[in-house]
Structure 1
Amino acid sequence: MTSDTTDPTPPADPVFGPGTRVLVTGAASGLGAAITAAARARGAQVLATDRDGDDLAEHEGEGIARLDITSDDDWAAAVAWVERRWGALDVLVNNAGVAGGGRLDQAGLDEWQWLFDVNVFGMVRGVRAFTPMLKQHGGHVVDVASLAALVHPAGMASYNAAKAAVLAFTETVGHELASYGVTAHAVCPSYFRTNLMDSLRGRDTAIAQVMSRLVTDSPVSAEDVAEAVLAGVEAGEELILPDPAARAAYRMKVDDRSAYDGVMRHQAARLEQLSTVTTSEEQA
């Protein structure tokens, strides 16, 4: 038996479907490369950019175009390219970023400045550059933050603060541009396997060891996170927690603050122990 009733509401077009115009920063490797591949597999047109790519003014194909997110000139060139080739942008993925950290008496202000220049102001530059276009056409802003925006382990004050700033910025973008048909999404993954540690700077060798081990040992790949990001955007999630560890850690903080504080302070004590061992080995 067949039904003679039909659903009067057609399904919405997928955000990353054929014809969607997407710009991804930090696309040469890691999560940026995985998001680029996943979006292209769904039929999207992707302008994949990275600091070490080819000249954007001459970029025509599906290679990597140069975009240094700390350069206003590079962002202006990206806007000009999109206007010339596509006319508008549907999804801006601010993925490019760097790793850092260090305990309060170890990390220098130069390290703090570098982290904020790249991870915060690079993203701010990109959104500001594309805001006039987004106001005209609507779209999505996807900012890759970190679980560190929500859960704040010891030894990572600079990174935690930078990623928390990204989260606050993204929420503000979503509120300010909502009336123009723009949705902003903050992505907050836990540790996953990527080459982010290649960018790590800092004097605190103990925290560098901890972070590198957590990345290397993670069961979650960049491809896993990329698929969760695309699914979250298409589901309209403004806070995307793309892996089980991120969801569990954030839920603990929300549901049982005393347990969360206990875990964070235990980790801080272990970091101090590791630092003592590391210092002794370096002096031997």
Structure 2
Amino acid sequence: MPEDAPERVEGHTTRRVLVTGAASGLGAALTAAFRARGDEVLATDVVSTPLDHRDGPVEHREHDVLRLDVTSDDDWAAALATVEERWGGLDILVNNAGVAGGGRIDVAGLDEWEWITGINLFGVVRGCRTFVPMLKRQRSGQIVNVASLAGLVHPAGMASYNAVKAGVVALTETLGHELAPYDVGASVVCPSYFRTNLMDSLRGADEALGGVVTALVETSPFTADEIAAAVLAGLDAGEEVILPDPAARAAWELKQTDRAAYVDQMRRQAARLDQLA
């Protein structure tokens, strides 16, 4: 076995995995977690120099890295060609790439809405459209779309982010129904705030919201490694909606079981946001 080959997990069948947004944050953590199991991973990202989830250099074999801008049809076509040439198929597609954004409806501009929609929603749509024909031909495979707790629970000041992540949740459920006859699964990942460099991509006119969300990310008790481990555990369990941390599970349960308390909490958060502004 080559020195740079991942350690094999006993009893584990090696899978072929493509991860978007793999240069840092959750994408890098997922890439490392899959490789630790012995899976082959094509790590893709719009940046040319891969980083790991600790924001330091990470060693990749050159053929395991591919530049992929999820808004580019040409880049997705190149990714498909690379997978076909190298592996002849794909077992897991992880649509993880995304950016941070949001803002109150009368503060955030339409340009901000178009930017976040193009990446966080249409980037996932493009990935699924690119690889679903292959998965259907194989009659096997798994799509993993990384959304957010914001796709299920919708706090004030984050309309655009909530909307695109809710779109990813809806898309994933729809694909699960469409692809079940082909033995292809679809799972959506909905984490709460966790420590990552996602806020480096934040843009928008609503500075009050930016400050609040940045603080929540920086003070979260959860790491990208922990979220990645929970995602793989959810996939092992066959979960279609993966809530990988206790905060996400608690918030979703509150919305389902005590709507009045949930609404009261959301309204109080909205009032605080206006006070900060």
Tell me the TM-score normalized by structure 1: 0.88
Contact map agreement 1:149 1:167 (CA 8 A) in 2: yes
Tell me which residue corresponds to 2:100. Answer: 99
Counterpart code for 2:105:
L
SS of corresponding position for 2:62: coil
Larger Rg: 1
Counterpart code for 2:16:
R
**Separation in structure 2 between the aligned mates of residue 75 and residue 120 of structure 1, nearest angstrom:** 15
- Answering whether residue 46 of structure 2 is matched by residue 51 of structure 1, we say yes
Change (3 A) 1:195 1:174: same
Unaligned runs of 5+ in 2: 1-8, 50-59
Contact map agreement 2:186 2:240 (CA 8 A) in 1: yes
- Answering whether residue 136 of structure 2 is matched by residue 135 of structure 1, we say yes
Tell me which residue corresponds to 1:81. Answer: 82
Pick one of 205, 223, 230 that aligns with 1:228.
230
Counterpart code for 2:91:
D
SS of corresponding position for 2:239: coil
Give the alignment's Cα RMSD to 1 decimal: 1.5
* 1:180-191 matches, cutoff 5 A: 180-191=182-193
- Answering whether residue 192 of structure 2 is matched by residue 207 of structure 1, we say no
- Answering whether residue 178 of structure 2 is matched by residue 176 of structure 1, we say yes
SS of corresponding position for 1:104: coil
Tell me which residue corresponds to 1:124. Answer: 125
Counterpart code for 2:19:
V
1:60: how far off? 6.7
Percent of residue pairs identical: 67
Q: How many residues align?
A: 257
Provide Cα deviations, 1:7-38, integer angstroms capped at 9, x if missing partner: xxxxxxx9x94420000000000000000000
Provide Cα deviations, 1:49-73, integer angstroms capped at 9, x if missing partner: 000237xxxx973653101100011
Tell me which residue corresponds to 1:9. Answer: none
**Separation in structure 2 between the aligned mates of residue 95 and residue 53 of structure 1, nearest angstrom:** 17
- Answering whether residue 37 of structure 2 is matched by residue 35 of structure 1, we say no
**Separation in structure 1 between the aligned mates of residue 194 and residue 168 of structure 2, nearest angstrom:** 19
Contact map agreement 1:94 1:126 (CA 8 A) in 2: yes
**Separation in structure 2 between the aligned mates of residue 192 and residue 261 of structure 1, nearest angstrom:** 23
* 1:9-24 matches, cutoff 5 A: 17-24=12-19
Tell me which residue corresponds to 2:5. Answer: none
Change (3 A) 1:89 1:63: closer
**Separation in structure 1 between the aligned mates of residue 63 and residue 231 of structure 2, nearest angstrom:** 21
SS of corresponding position for 1:194: coil
Unaligned runs of 5+ in 1: 1-13, 276-284
Tell me which residue corresponds to 1:10. Answer: none
- Answering whether residue 160 of structure 2 is matched by residue 158 of structure 1, we say yes
**Separation in structure 1 between the aligned mates of residue 61 and residue 271 of structure 2, nearest angstrom:** 53
Contact map agreement 1:94 1:123 (CA 8 A) in 2: yes
Counterpart code for 2:110:
L
SS of corresponding position for 2:156: coil
**Separation in structure 2 between the aligned mates of residue 216 and residue 195 of structure 1, nearest angstrom:** 9
SS of corresponding position for 1:262: helix
Change (3 A) 1:37 1:136: same
SS of corresponding position for 1:218: coil
**Separation in structure 1 between the aligned mates of residue 84 and residue 176 of structure 2, nearest angstrom:** 23
Counterpart code for 1:28:
A
Tell me the TM-score normalized by structure 2: 0.90
